[in-house]
Amino acid sequence: MNNKLYQLLGLFFISGNVLAASIAKVPATGETGGVTGSGSGVAWPTTRFVVSGDCVTDNLTGLMWPKNGIIGFEATEGGGPISQPNYANTDPTLNNLSWANATIAISNMNSAFIKLCGYSDWRLPNKVELKSLVNYGNSNPANWLIVQGFSSVQADNYWSSSSYAPNTNFAWYVYFNDGYVGADDKTGNGYVWPVRAGQ
């Protein structure tokens, strides 16, 4: 062996002992009995979601989400973000925005006279945060979230704040029909579901 290979091996061995890396805590996989990886990860809390008024706190991640998956960010379809969102909106077309308008809509939400649950630090979730809402053990993540206490969650694409690195004209989204994660042109429309750090 050459010296470089010995040096590389030296990074992994000290006095004959293998160095152990820190293990990330992740949600439990749902695997049972004798399956590779069974028992790894962190189990979900007994009560995962706690509804408090118009907001829901996720006890697994500590994140807070609006209860309504389709806050009204427009007054009319395609009319652009309004200064005071309608937190009780039931019309999905008033929450279907381009990525740029999604960020404007949440900024307007933070400066609006009526604050959702009293907070003004809402933001577009990153890809990992948005994906954390998906229960891959359920055939329809949107319906599962409604059973958990959310309302009007669309089985469709929700924007994340994460740009797509190979082409930053695209951003990542999560498809709440089956949990698929993909990227789309930021000029296209997607649903907008703000998040904030839990208390």
Enumerate the domain spans of the chain: 1-43, 47-197
- The CATH number, out of the four listed (3.10.20, 3.10.100, 3.40.50, 2.60.40), of the domain defined by the range 47-197: 3.10.100
**What are the angstrom distances between the C-alpha of 119 and each of 37, 54, 85, 197, 198?**
40, 11, 14, 11, 11
Residue 66 pLDDT > 50: yes
pTM: 0.80
* C-alpha to C-alpha distances, 3 to 7, 8, 10, 15, 129, nearest whole angstrom: 6, 9, 10, 18, 44
Q: Quick: pLDDT tens for 7-62.
A: 444 443 434 444 344 444 555 555 555 555 555 677 888 999 999 999 999 999 99
Percent residues over pLDDT 90 in the chain: 76
Q: How far is CA 9 from CA 2, 5, 18, in A?
A: 11, 6, 10
Contacts of 84 (CB under 8 A, 6+ apart): 108, 112, 113, 114
Write out pLDDT tens, residues 125-152.
999 999 999 999 999 999 999 999 999 9
